[in-house]
Amino acid sequence: MIRFKSLSLSFLFILLVTANLVLAQNQSKASIFEKYDRLIKQLQESQAMVYSPNSYVKAMKYYKEASEDFDDREDLEKIKNKLLRVQTYALESLKNVEIVKSLLAKTITAREKALDVGAPEFAEELWERAEKILQKAVENVEDHDQEDALEYGEEARIAYEKAIRLALVNSLLQEPRQLIQKAKELKADELCYQTYLVALNALKDAEDLINANPDSLDNAKLKADLAAYQARHAIYLARMIKELRKKDSNWELLILKFEDLLRNIALPFNYKPEFDNGFDEPVQTIIGYIANLKKENKRLIEENGELQDELKRLKEKESNLSVELQKRMELEEKIKKIQELFEPEEAEVLVQNDNLLIRLFGLKFQPGRAIIQPEYFSLLTKVQRAIYEFPDSYIMVEGHTDATGSAYKNKILSQQRAKAVKEYLLANLNLKDSQIEAIGKGDQEPIASNKTAEGRAKNRRIEILIALPKY
């Protein structure tokens, strides 16, 4: 029994010594490989695999061998010799990368832009061709043949730019092309030819604009959106017409539905249209009501101007307070008045960096669209009333999106939405075009987390900044 116990203690001692040796081995490896680990990381960050592949592959080969030899407890001098080779090839690779990025700067810029616009996905063949040509240029750099490297580099740059144009066309026009194809499958080219033709023409215009100036996509985006909308419209019409052709009674149902729509439009005016003589008279009556509303809006603007004048005269009579204090009180009163205009779910009003910020949560746009729906006109009327309080101030309209989708498309969409709000305010206020500006911020300035639906909803917003007077 005593002997067995002694053997067990010996076995435990051996295990302990072995564990300590393994630990020492691991610590030794960390200290020996630390410098070379940094070199490998530097190679990867500089994209040496792309811009100096031969030296990179050799450096990685010797690094792997050295690591395996260490794990197999090979001779330390042998391992160190391989690590010296890692260093030699790594430094050579980094030097080549630096030469490539300097010598072929325009080509590298074109390649990065091609990556940004999704050329590997939307222009796969052209992208692969450009990559192969670039590799020839890189090989010549590694062979110290700068003349051939420059020649291949220029050829690669041209190939990348072709890939950029094709990727822009394919990515921007993918949706409208698919929708037009779907419309054609539903025989929209026969059942609703005019709408289908508008979609085709808008698609062609978008393609022409991209080919003419691939660096400016705003107008092409508008045409692409129009093509997609008209294609969806054609799809709807084709399905509707097919359904109507099934039974004659469907036509009556369609007309009755249209009458109901007109009744709903007339409802706020307390007008009950009758359709026994067709649609012309009810439609003209509703148009008349709308015209009267515009006149009333103009009258209110003028009345507001008179009230502003009267308020100014009253304020001038207040001589007990200093001018500065008086103006500050007036400013606070206006801000409070504006804050009371909006419900919490409509907007948040606050002072930020000498600006009055109206953060419109209640103004919603359809996904991917920049058209203001009539249901939000009343909310924008409140914004107009806020602007009335500072009729001479500079106004900035900012569009913001959540982080869903590409940052590039989000910026364009936010710009279009901000511009739509600007145009609406210009049409309904006595403002100079130079007094109001629209800008799209995309997803760059979130006010909530983009990881939740609630946060993304808050980030999709329009912000109105009104410059406050400085006292």
pLDDT value for 321: 56
Quick one: average pLDDT of 388-394? 90
Please state the domain extents for the chain: 2-103, 129-246, 249-317, 323-467
What's the whole-number mean pLDDT along residues 283-305?
Answer: 88
73-120 pLDDT tens trace: 988 899 999 999 999 999 998 998 899 889 999 999 999 999 888 899
Q: What per-residue confidence (pLDDT) applies to 9?
A: 46
pLDDT at 392 exceeding the cut of 70: yes
Residue 15, pLDDT > 50, answer: no
Please state which of the ranges 9-13, 307-311, 372-376 shows the lowest mean pLDDT.
9-13
Q: Is the pLDDT of residue 422 over 90?
A: yes
Position 254 scores a pLDDT of 87
pLDDT computed for residue 417 by the predictor = 95
| % of the chain residues with pLDDT over 90 | 54
The per-residue pLDDT of the chain, averaged, comes to 87
- Residues 6+ away with beta carbon under 8 Å from 274: 281, 282
pTM of the model: 0.42
Mind listing the pLDDT tens digit for each residue in 251-283?
Answer: 888 889 989 999 999 898 888 999 988 889 999
Q: Which CATH number fits domain 323-467: 1.20.140.10, 3.30.1330.60, 3.40.718.10, 3.30.110.70?
A: 3.30.1330.60
Q: Is the per-residue pLDDT at 27 higher than 80?
A: no
Instruction: Give the pLDDT of residue 56.
Output: 92
Lowest mean pLDDT among 6-15, 129-138, 306-315: 6-15
